[in-house]
Structure 1
């Protein structure tokens, strides 16, 4: 297993981490992802640790806290061997303080997560979304207090825009408060928007990307290809409306390229898609999910080998789309590119 620093922090995280969204699954979205019970969760954690996957990601909204509870039970007795990442801010009830990132909500959310996870600290705590109704100073001073109290080790964000992150970092720097070091983002070969604003920001400000839904909401599992209908039993029948839309021809163009490279490498389509992500700039860890042992073992084979520069070029060409203004000028080979060269490494 390859371990990388989480952004500009000293924390080492595995290049592949495990998403516990399938643990205790319930409801229309998380129930479709999976409903792994405690016994199976322990088995999946065993396999992860044997492979060097030490980071486990969850959130308070995953199955109304059941994911955190199952994860806490699955790692019982081996807390020191794992890193826990969880999130809060999205609504967990109908009350006026059951959503957002106020001081009241964050303290209550962290205490509840610690109880569900049966631990005394959270290694990486991320805000699940930007709360425009709460002053940034209130959010960051609260997180800093929780870090100083030893309840949180590192902090980060998810689903923030570039200006929201940059404003937050500026406030942290002004007051000497703990800085965000993680940005949990949607990024895949059929969703490369991360590269336009958030990747340059991460490179400049030292935020490591924790990539969620690396297979494009199940579209890059190898079950979808040109001329084939969506297979019966696919979770896309239940979850497609939750993910970002993908133009059909663009999807097939990417899948065609993945199938071509998969044949060259003797790997599967999802293994190629995951490997491509591990080689992208600013990516600290790619979060993989699995509903069973077989699926997990297959995903773990996405590392330990490297795509060639020619194979990466094939995937890049198939998946690239024209960026919106003001980003598209920087994609051209002209004077703009001299001012803001492409990110590498």
Structure 2
């Protein structure tokens, strides 16, 4: 396993991490979640990601049970959770000081932990003043309930505003951002955030590296009944499932088929190719993966062996298929 610094901090996270969105507490039961987490830990993964909204908090509960069951040393783990959608009450959502503090306490109780290493503002909150948000996260860091705080799917302008407020007040600024990033979703990481890596030393922990499974090739011939897109009671999965029938969805599937040819050429799976492509980006601290069985964890970790195979020639061949390189002059470089 490779470990990278989380932005301009001294914290090291595994370049591949395991997240619980949709899967733990929802798609699979606690025993499978435990098996996947153990497979990840045994493979060198030290970073596990969840959120208060995942399966209504059950994901946090299941992950917390696994941590206690295996008796892992707390210093060997980097645990993150996210706040924004905590319930149906008027103060159970958003980024008010009340919800940030109470939501953190509730998450820690579900996780059965004294602190989390990373805490994210799961989305921006235009209804709450930025000073209130920054002060609340700063309070949690000073109280030792959180070591670092960051954002998820915030714009570069919003992150810059948070830094400006923190600098003006002498408070702790956000360290990391958790955006979506994959072969089909690139602009924010590769273009919008470029100044933030240099100015603020921002780290990134990206989600959906396989585009909800599209980049594995499993949806090339339809939606398998045991896949996450087949989940009926999840609005996000339904929207993604319906999108496969669109012209854009069919175009993406045709690109995945061509990417599979490149994967065959270098001796890996299409999923491993997509993960390795993400890992080539030097501005990524960790790529959050999902898994519904231990064998998926093991297959994902093998993508580390694929990274050296992504030469400039292979990367350009991939670009020739994707045809979506951001307008910003930005290129990956093979090491």
Structure 1: which 5+ residue stretches go unaligned?
A: 26-33, 332-341
Contact 1:250–1:319 under 8 Å retained in 2: no
Partner of 1:47: 39
| 2:192 corresponds to 1:197 | yes
Aligned-partner Cα distance in 2 for 1:242–1:129: 20
Q: Secondary structure at the match of 1:201?
A: helix
Give the CA RMSD over aligned residues: 2.0
Residue 242 of structure 1: how far off its partner (Å): 5.2
Q: Secondary structure at the match of 2:175?
A: strand
Q: 1:96 aligns with which of 86, 90, 93?
A: 90
Partner of 1:236: 229
What does the per-residue CA deviation read over 1:290-344, in whole Å, with 9 as the maximum and x for residues that have no partner? 0011222111111134222211111123223275xxxx4x45xxxxxxxxxx366
Aligned-partner Cα distance in 2 for 1:235–1:67: 15
Contact 1:257–1:314 under 8 Å retained in 2: no
Partner of 1:265: 266
In 2 relative to 1, CA 234–42 (structure 1 residues): closer, same or farther, beyond 3 Å?
closer
In 2 relative to 1, CA 137–244 (structure 1 residues): closer, same or farther, beyond 3 Å?
farther
| 2:225 corresponds to 1:222 | no
Deviates more, 1:73-82 or 1:141-150: 73-82
Contact 2:119–2:146 under 8 Å retained in 1: yes
Residue 203 of structure 1: how far off its partner (Å): 4.1
Partner of 1:318: 321
The TM-score with structure 2 as length reference comes to: 0.89
Structure 2: which 5+ residue stretches go unaligned?
A: 232-236
Aligned-partner Cα distance in 1 for 2:59–2:275: 24
Contact 2:259–2:321 under 8 Å retained in 1: no
Contact 1:44–1:296 under 8 Å retained in 2: yes
| 2:187 corresponds to 1:186 | no
Residue 200 of structure 1: how far off its partner (Å): 3.8
| 2:153 corresponds to 1:150 | no
Aligned-partner Cα distance in 2 for 1:67–1:310: 41
Count the aligned residue pairs: 318
Residue 67 of structure 1: how far off its partner (Å): 0.5
Aligned-partner Cα distance in 1 for 2:251–2:281: 20
Partner of 2:112: 118
| 2:249 corresponds to 1:248 | yes
Partner of 2:294: 293
Residue 202 of structure 1: how far off its partner (Å): 3.1
Q: 1:159 aligns with which of 153, 167, 170?
A: 153
Residue 8 of structure 1: how far off its partner (Å): 1.0
Aligned-partner Cα distance in 2 for 1:297–1:268: 13
In 2 relative to 1, CA 295–129 (structure 1 residues): closer, same or farther, beyond 3 Å?
same
